[in-house]
């Protein structure tokens, strides 16, 4: 999750801080990959479509979801098999809340890191 460009070098190229944020519990649970997958499931209503959009197999997508659910101890995705309206998937209320909180964490961390970077690197390397 790259930050905004901030300090100018002599050649005019901009420096920016690089950083990643993820949540852990007995290992990584939620990072950029799972966040993107859950976001795509939420908008597409389908695990297979979300997986295709990310260039991963349905099995790999389900594996990521199941591992996170196991570590969190709560369901993230509800599936519906076939039927007249066809199958589908949606996020649980807990997953929606987790996504909102993680989004806020990312926004606030980005703002903090960008501000700190600008404070520390302002004017560097000089004329």
State the Cα–Cα distance between residues 81 and 30, nearest whole angstrom.
Answer: 26
Between 91 and 29, whose confidence is greater? 91
Domain ranges of the chain: 23-121
Side-chain-side CA neighbours of residue 94 (13 Å): 9
Helix (H) or strand (E) holding 60: helix 58-72
Give CA separation, 6 vs 19, 61, 112, 116, 117, in Å.
15, 36, 13, 10, 7
Give pLDDT, residue 55.
97
pTM for the predicted model, two decimal places: 0.80
Reply yes or no on whether the pLDDT at 7 is more than 80: no
How does the average pLDDT of the chain come out, rounded?
88
> pLDDT tens digits, residue range 44-70?
999 999 999 999 999 999 999 999 999
**Of the options 3.40.50.720, 1.10.10.10, 3.40.50.300, 2.60.40.10, the CATH number for the domain spanning 23-121:** 1.10.10.10
Q: Residue 84 carries which DSSP code?
A: T
């Amino acid at each position: 999750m790259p930050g905004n460009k901030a300090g100018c070098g002599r050649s005019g190229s901009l420096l920016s801080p690089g950083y990643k944020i993820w949540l852990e519990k007995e290992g990584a649970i939620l990072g950029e990959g799972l966040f993107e997958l859950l976001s795509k499931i939420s908008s597409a209503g389908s695990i297979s479509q979300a997986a295709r959009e990310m260039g991963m197999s349905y099995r790999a997508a389900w594996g990521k979801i199941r591992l996170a659910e196991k570590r969190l101890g709560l369901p993230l995705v509800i599936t519906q098999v076939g039927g007249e309206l066809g199958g589908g998937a949606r996020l649980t209320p807990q997953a929606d809340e987790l996504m909102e909180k993680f989004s806020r964490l990312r926004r606030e961390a980005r703002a903090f890191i960008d501000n700190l970077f600008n404070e520390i690197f302002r004017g560097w390397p000089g004329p």
